[in-house]
Amino acid sequence: MLAREIGRVATGDRTAFGNVYRMTSAKLYGIVIRILGDRAEAEDVLQEVYLTVWRRAGDYDPAIAAPVTWMVAIARNRAIDRLRALRVVRTPAEIEAILDIEDPGPSPQERVAREQDRHRLDDCLDTLPEVNRLAIRAAFFGGLTYEEAAIAAGVPLGTMKSWIRRGLISLRGCLER
């Protein structure tokens, strides 16, 4: 459904573009505002994201990624880019607020468009030691740098790097199995 609409956007169809916006803007705004923590910046970035979607709709390849995955990647990329450009230094309290997202476990979540093997990531995350899993989730949700994540967790930078890197390597191994 969404993939088909993106295909139409690639031909310059503005109605399809409006549909894409309606289907995805709440999800993308949720992601972007959590990373940026500022409404005005988040609105600005969201605008940039949709114009990028319009321009790059022709590059979207459904064989490589689900449409939501493709759009989430654009949104996160633009949000993190803005965050780094702003050189925001977040306080531990702000970081904690960002990370206030439940570890989902197997509970049913709001799903926009699902990939077939959607539970695999959760399953693999569950195989990681808790510190590695929490660090990865935290970094992903907040666009935290290693340094911010280390401060938030109250551990040395090297420890945080090690947690996240080892987590990522194990995750890759698990997902390939």
Partner 1 sequence: MTTEADEAGAIPDDLLAAEFVLGVLDGEQWRATDARCAADPAFAAIVAGWEQRLADLADAVPSMPPPARVHRRVEAELSLLIARMPPPEPEPEPAPPPPKYGVAFWRRMAIGGGVLSAGALAALAVLLFWPLSGVQTFLPRSVDVATLAPGEVDHVLFFVTVDHERQEVLLTPMGVVPADRVPELWYVSADNRAHSLGVFSAALPRVLRLPQLEGAMASTKLRGARLTVSLEPPGGSPTGEPTGPWVAEGVLVPTL
Q: Could you say which residues in the range 62-81 bind partner 1, by CB under 8 A? A: 64-66, 68-70, 72-73, 76-77, 80-81
Rounded distance between C-alpha atoms, residue 138 and residue 99, angstroms: 6
Applying CB under 8 A, among 95, 139, 151, 152 the residue interacting with partner 1 is 139
Contacts of 51 (CB under 8 A, 6+ apart): none
Closest to partner 1 by CB, 6 vs 139, is 139
Rounded distance between C-alpha atoms, residue 42 and residue 50, angstroms: 12
Question: Count residues contacting partner 1 (CB under 8 A)?
Answer: 72
121 near partner 1 (CB under 8 A): yes
Q: Binders of partner 1 among 147-166, rule CB under 8 A?
A: 147, 149, 158-159, 161-162, 164-166
Site string for partner 1, 80-99 (x = CB under 8 A): xx--xx-x------------
Rounded (10°) CA dihedral 175, 155, 85, 58: 10
Residue 95 C-beta: closest distance to partner 1, Å: 13
Residue 36 C-beta: closest distance to partner 1, Å: 12
Q: Binders of partner 1 among 45-64, rule CB under 8 A?
A: 46-47, 50-51, 54, 64
**Is residue 143 left, alpha or beta, with left meaning phi > 0 and alpha meaning psi from -120 to 50?**
left
Rounded distance between C-alpha atoms, residue 130 and residue 45, angstroms: 32
134 near partner 1 (CB under 8 A): no
The conformation of residue 154, written as its DSSP 8-state character, comes to: T
